Structure 1
Amino acid sequence: MNASTSPFVPDHHEVVIIGGGQAGLSMSHYLQKIGARHVVFEKHAALHSWRTQRWDSFCLVTPNWQCNLPGHPYAGDDPHGFMKKDQINDYLAGFRRQVNAPLREGVAVRRVVPRPQGGYEVHTAQGEQVSMCTADQVVVASGGYHVPIIPRLAERLPAGIVQVHSEQYRNPQSLPDGAVLVVGSGQSGSQIAEDLHLAGRQVHLAVGDAPRCARFYRGRDVVDWLADMNYYDMPVHQHPLREGVRDNTNHYVTGRDGGRDIDLRKFALEGMQLHGLLAGLDDGVMQFEPGLSAALDRADQVYNGINASIDKHIAAQGIEAPPPSVYEPVWQPDGEQLTLDLRAAGITAVVWCIGFRPDFEWLDAPVFNGRGQPVHTRGVTQHKGLYFLGLPWQYTWGSGRFSGVSRDAAFLAERIDALRELCPPLSMAA
């Protein structure tokens, strides 16, 4: 048989990693240690979301010392500070150089299919060029935040109102002059609302059910206290909510200007207009659910509850620390504004900060629940050789963060290596 009629033999890898963010590069770090032949497919550029999906004043909300990617811990002179966007990207660029992964950028994975004889087909596209390779094992390291959530009612907003998702927001100057409606009060929503508020913009904030926590308490960063209390080492199966904690909204707090609380009540005293959950839109008038007071109260209860747990720790360990305190509300809603006429309020822009949804439609394997979320135990699925990495609370609080993804990647590398020993690489003649 001559070369022109030879059957096509696709490239084969022991492991394919899908996603070139901190999770994918962490996985590559450990696969190199065990000598596993692998490739990392990234549809954009490696670590692109940190450069392209963060606003200009973005900074970490956890102290720099928690940045502990494999082989690349934070080595700066401000471990208890909070790196800004450019500093974060410098840190990540150093991590990329250190890992030196077999990375293929601009390659989108279109479909992953289990093979009858074992292993997987991985179909990719690079521009107009499509191709297929095979792999013994696959690690999905693309995270769980894929598709920006924007409600369908956005289609009925009055013409002329600029709409951006949180991933597109850059700074107050990027929005037209006038008042801004921010929808969602999680980490992104609260920080973007603060960014606009500090710039002197009139802000309306639709408040959700996000909890909050103190930045500093009894002389230390709350993160430092919680680390001493081993909270960040608690596995998901020991959390009171078990896997339900994966659905929780992150606590809002900020590292801006050296770190501080975010207190929506204080913002309200200063002129920010707070509303309840967005409920609907009718002829240019936004409608909100009642319950703003209850939402603020719940956030404060979590704030005080975390501090109370720190009080117990301090007492139990006999630690000398400044005296305890309890947050008392500085503002209470005087009734609730359940409607907002966008034109009359001078709203010129809406920033949607209600998160993302996962999109794993390209993964043709029965490993999802009814909501399209992966079913796994510490990243290991029931489908042999298929894993996830970098998901929120995959194993601990830090699983999707710089602080914990290394531990998860090391664990998966052990599982991958064990399967290599049991099942040597598949013969492509099979």
Structure 2
Amino acid sequence: MNIGQLIKLERQRQNMKQEYLASGICVPSYLSRIENGLVIPSEDVQQHLLKRLNIPSYALNSTGNEEKLLYFKNLFKSVINSRDKEKAKTLYHDLHVYIEDHPFEPNRLTLLVMETRLMLMLPDYSNEVKSNLTILEEFKKEMNTEQLFYLSTIQGILAYLNNNFRESSEIFNQIFTLIKSYRMEDWEMAELYYISSLSFLSEARYIISIDYVKAALSYFNQEILIERSIECLIILGIAQKSTGVLKDAVITFEKAKDISSKLESSKFNRKIEHNLGACHSLLKNHDQALLHFQNSLKESSNPQDNLLTILNILKEYHKISNVDSAIFWLEKGFQLLKLLPKSSSVFYSNHLEIYQALLEDKKELVPIFKKVLKYFELKEEYKYCSVYSFVLAKKLAEDKQYKQATIYYDLGFNYQLKQLKITSWEELL
């Protein structure tokens, strides 16, 4: 990076306007030309700009500390691999101080993308992430492949965290294209495979998710990164469950459970037990499903996690027509609902209201179902819209309300097409 680009980067990092930096030194248009590398500032202008940026003149003589960069990269690798938030916080602080103290460090872009990636692990730094990304976007043309890899990875993770799964998957596809002719380190590829598998899983692209998570799992097993291996097995099991390979999914989750039992931490137990319950439910092993769901409840004190499990227990009892037990868990669900903030509770309350209407055999089902369908349609949760439309249609047909039933069968089919992202019947062929 030339002197103008470094001045621009530091000005933006300090959130300083061009007009303010240029004031009394040069006109803003001249500063703009300096920052874009079109002119080299005179010694006098250069010194005044540095002084306003609170940068000592000797900083210009920085040739870059490659040993320090390697030191930070090794720590960065350890933090990303281990997911250790305390280590992430310490490294972030050390990186931040170093960047502050070495404003004209030639490796500054690499240090900035590493700093930004660490911020994603620290919830208190969401505003700083946006600020850093704005700066980094300005310097994409100056970035090498490694820097672009990290910047794109950050953008892909942010899209995923904001539930923009399609955008996230597109970014990760672009990253794989970007690095085709560049040799990334094994740990970087493992991390890319891992986060890509999560993104594709969320977009219901299960086959590619399975391929990627297996690649990540191979590395984590080789490096004996046990927690990361368990994370991969959980993703793999969910993808297998979603593709209907239920017996393989059970084996995968049991393997994750066995490895997890050797850890002192129980952080994965709830998720593993819940997914084992879901697999056995689909296999119609009702007793085993209920056992795993109730084991899952014992492993968590989080109301939202527990409400999800209670909903699954309720569904299981309803499935086997055990009305008394279903009503018992329905009431448990409504009690737990009070502990959730409204933004989270409304999702579960809509599901519970459907089961309440069915279990209490309410005669006026249509208004209840219409309200629930409207909520899930606004959320674009077409799977629930489709299922509940068919449930209502079946109940209406049983009551000999065939005209109404036909309307909701048709509606359910249309929701199913939306879920599959099909816009014309030819796509079904």
Tell me the TM-score normalised to structure 1 length: 0.22
Between the two structures, name the one with larger relative contact order (CA 8 Å, sep ≥ 6): 1
Instruction: Choose between structure 1 and 2: higher strand proportion.
Output: 1
Bigger Rg, which one? 2
Tell me the TM-score normalised to structure 2 length: 0.22
Instruction: Choose between structure 1 and 2: higher helix proportion.
Output: 2
